[in-house]
Chain A
Amino acid sequence: EDQVTQSPEALRLQEGESSSLNCSYTVSGLRGLFWYRQDPGKGPEFLFTLYSAGEEKEKERLKATLTKKESFLHITAPKPEDSATYLCAVPLDTSYKLIFGSGTRLLVRP
């Protein structure tokens, strides 16, 4: 069964305390893996697309990596404004409809 699992469900960090979020997936024929950030009551904001194992993408304090079975979102020296829910998603088929993980709620304390 196609599935996306994220861990941890929630993560509390002190400002400046680096950490990683995990997204594991089981789909046949990976057509990419997407990371999104979602603030409460808002639409998901696109962050990264990764297509093949070994690929890495960076944006400010965020770095996403991909292996054959999972992806990591590394947050370096986070700030309170990085607090949000981070979602990963994979396309199921050629329609590119997305299956989402349940997300990791990140809280960064000053």
Chain B
Amino acid sequence: DSGVTQTPKHLITATGQRVTLRCSPRSGDLSVYWYQQSLDQGLQFLIQYYNGEERAKGNILERFSAQQFPDLHSELNLSSLELGDSALYFCASSVAGREQYFGPGTRLTVT
């Protein structure tokens, strides 16, 4: 158990819908990273927050957004969902500049 929690474990939704994925980092970790893992793309960095502020962005679609709250949990919002958004979504947390610990992931299926 990494200490990072993610909910829900599974999500099945229809195209065009909006979903919210939630992540709670390890106690004491200020950085939260979001990654997408699909079969054809591998693990891809989406976005990072540090202590409530956006720190870095990857190739995140404009339909996707995220935020980190004062209690340090983070949410990833995915809207106008397409079939190609089906993937595993992981969050990871770390002390700045150190190894990242990953949560169990949310499996998103868009039908």
User: In this complex, what residue of B is CB-closest to A94?
Assistant: B97
Contact of A43 among B45, B55, B99, B104 (CB under 8 A): B104
> Which A residues are in CB contact (< 8 Å) with B64?
none
Contact with A along B92-111 (1 / 0, CB 8 A): 10101111111111010000
User: In this complex, what residue of A is CB-closest to B104?
Assistant: A43
Is B86 interfacial (CB-CB < 8 Å)? no
> Which A residues are in CB contact (< 8 Å) with B44?
100
Contact with B along A83-109 (1 / 0, CB 8 A): 000010100011111111111000000
Contact of B104 among A42, A95, A99 (CB under 8 A): A42
Q: How many residues of B contact A (CB 8 A)?
A: 28
User: In this complex, what residue of B is CB-closest to A34?
Assistant: B99
How distant is A68 from chain B, measured CB to nearest CB, in Å?
A: 21
Instruction: Report A's interface with B, CB cutoff 8 A.
Output: 31-32, 34, 36, 41-46, 49, 87, 89, 93-103
Instruction: Report B's interface with A, CB cutoff 8 A.
Output: 2, 4, 31, 33, 35, 42-45, 48, 55-56, 58, 88, 90, 92, 94, 96-105, 107
